[in-house]
Structure 1
């Protein structure tokens, strides 16, 4: 790497602000996602498609939260660690591996969830309007995303694929010989990666934009579909599912836009500008990248809040934890959860 010897100079934003942010996100995200996992495990039918996607999202969120203490320590003391130290290798290899695997699993599952929601709308549409979508092949593919067995295998494939790509990239970097005997852990090679890491990053970026455009097109197609229905009929109470589906896809689109889009727009720019040997400028670029990564990681901590605000069943289950209830009340809540998730 041409500028691998360029010493990075972390500012207070990196050595103080980032550790504080990760230190605050860690307990909030861990508690919220553990609580969400417990509520879903107690209330949700394990064979519901929506629960399969939510369960994998919560798992990915918990894995991201588990890396936050390592990331906080790395940004606070990484510039003092030796590159060959145990702490440096744990923070860079294990922390980076878990962070990026979980991040892209989250992105792809969010896209799959949006497709599942969109397929739900098509499933509940009247026959005369569903026939307007004459692409039978695409309808069959969409229907797959609603099937629990397909959702389970899809999530397994997503985890294995993302894990393999990330492990291969990191393994090649570990095998490459370092010509410098003494170097700080916080350096440009760690932050930018070598050739294999950049190839994996390019694949990951392309995967993100594919997922982003898929959700965007689903939302656009949904609006177009609802407009066509409204011109021919009045949406009654049985069509309230439409507004729910529209809201859920919009929330997914907002998450992808706010949390992940800035990072993936900046990353190609970051790699292009690395050819410059201006060390202060490189330090600034690395800090921008790390803050955008932190923004993406913050999504895992706010997920339980989003579920609480949008999911009435989750809110009722959470309320039930702090109130006394009878076995009949628990049974009634389980029935309500089953009915509502069958619509999702």
Structure 2
């Protein structure tokens, strides 16, 4: 009933929404598209996808490109969406394709980041130190088998396919229901409306599932980081790490970077989202406007992760970093050679 009362409330976007968000999304589109297209080109042309980590990162890039494709529409929506008709083509693209791309990309990214952290942890734990200083874990046969699976590229490939199927299988039916059934229940005139922001009456259950999904993987990465730190502490007490110290520190840093991304980009969004749905059923229009604007900025923060992933690839994958360096070095050499040829040709013409 609260949502029906909300239909009389007219959402008014602030200057922050109509100016700042379009600028941010336009900037993210340019940087994210360039970075992820370059990343995909390097992964597909110069790096063999047989490595477990490369399989995860390639799927991450594809998910990022999917969400980058919606950013121009999101920029237009926040700039002029309050003037669009609800039944317009642009409004439908933002409400349905935009929602599908963002939700799919977000939860595939969260899942793959988690699997990447677990994969790095599993690879490190393959060493003999693992069995020597972690006897309690060593006795857990299931845990050992699970970690062993995460080191296998074939398992990574099947896992990524499963993630795409599960996320799309949950998201598409809800969006199709909203598209075919919900519009018939209430007439909406403007695109920037509570219905577009709330996502339809069927949104609550998927939101609860998605929030639980996020916190499951968030705690998994946190546990991996804690286990690694605890493992390193035991090794340092019993022996000298020596040459392996750099490897341990690198893996520790990588898992910390993944944990940082989940905390900064996704945690605020997933803490606020259930609060948004709990408080939105209100007759206070001013509160509704504040809730919508807060949600949109936290969504933008989550989406921004898609544009920063190429930088994350530099930190997580040495092979990617090396190929990227060679690419720019080769481009620079070709540019200098081309410039030198022009200068030489110009000098010959002058001598004549």
Taking structure 1 as the reference length, what is the TM-score of the superposition? 0.91
In structure 2, the CA distance between the partners of 1:146 and 1:312, relative to structure 1 (3 Å rule), is closer
In structure 2, the CA distance between the partners of 1:4 and 1:240, relative to structure 1 (3 Å rule), is same
- Once the two structures are superposed, the pairs formed by residues 174-189 of structure 1 within 5 Å of their partners are 174=179, 175-181=181-187, 183-189=189-195
**C-alpha distance in structure 1 between counterparts of 2:314 and 2:205, whole Å:** 38
Q: 1:156 aligns with which of 150, 157, 161?
A: 161
Partner of 2:133: 129
2:12 match: secondary structure: coil
Residue 313 of structure 1 and its aligned partner are, at CA, apart by 3.1
Residue 252 of structure 1 and its aligned partner are, at CA, apart by 0.3
Partner of 1:83: 86
Partner of 2:16: 13
CA RMSD in angstroms, aligned pairs only: 1.6
Partner of 1:287: 293
Residue 41 of structure 1 and its aligned partner are, at CA, apart by 1.8
Q: 1:300 aligns with which of 292, 302, 306?
A: 306
Q: 1:316 aligns with which of 312, 315, 322?
A: 322
Residue 180 of structure 1 and its aligned partner are, at CA, apart by 4.7
- Once the two structures are superposed, the pairs formed by residues 273-284 of structure 1 within 5 Å of their partners are 273-284=279-290
Residue 311 of structure 1 and its aligned partner are, at CA, apart by 4.1
Partner of 2:26: 23
Partner of 1:102: 105
Answer with 309-318 or 106-115: which moved more: 309-318
**C-alpha distance in structure 2 between counterparts of 1:267 and 1:285, whole Å:** 10
**Structure 2 contact 57–313 (Cα < 8 Å) conserved:** no
**C-alpha distance in structure 1 between counterparts of 2:188 and 2:119, whole Å:** 52
Answer with 123-132 or 93-102: which moved more: 123-132
Answer with 105-114 or 133-142: which moved more: 133-142
Partner of 1:263: 269
Q: Which runs of 4+ in 1 moved over 6 A?
A: none
1:46 match: secondary structure: coil
**C-alpha distance in structure 1 between counterparts of 2:211 and 2:74, whole Å:** 22
1:196 match: secondary structure: coil
Partner of 2:347: none
- Once the two structures are superposed, the pairs formed by residues 139-154 of structure 1 within 5 Å of their partners are 139-154=144-159
In structure 2, the CA distance between the partners of 1:8 and 1:178, relative to structure 1 (3 Å rule), is farther
Taking structure 2 as the reference length, what is the TM-score of the superposition? 0.89
**C-alpha distance in structure 2 between counterparts of 1:209 and 1:31, whole Å:** 31
Gaps of 5+ in 1: 326-344
**C-alpha distance in structure 1 between counterparts of 2:291 and 2:255, whole Å:** 33
Q: 1:36 aligns with which of 34, 39, 43?
A: 39
- Tell me, yes or no, if structure 1 residue 169 matches structure 2 residue 174: yes
Answer with 191-200 or 87-96: which moved more: 191-200
Residue 308 of structure 1 and its aligned partner are, at CA, apart by 2.8
**C-alpha distance in structure 2 between counterparts of 1:324 and 1:142, whole Å:** 39
**Structure 2 contact 47–319 (Cα < 8 Å) conserved:** no
Partner of 1:336: none
**C-alpha distance in structure 1 between counterparts of 2:151 and 2:121, whole Å:** 9
**Structure 2 contact 117–254 (Cα < 8 Å) conserved:** yes
When Rg is computed on C-alpha atoms for both structures, the one with the higher figure is 2
- Tell me, yes or no, if structure 1 residue 59 matches structure 2 residue 62: yes
In structure 2, the CA distance between the partners of 1:221 and 1:173, relative to structure 1 (3 Å rule), is same
In structure 2, the CA distance between the partners of 1:177 and 1:40, relative to structure 1 (3 Å rule), is closer
Q: 1:138 aligns with which of 134, 143, 152?
A: 143
Gaps of 5+ in 2: 332-352
Answer with 262-271 or 232-241: which moved more: 232-241
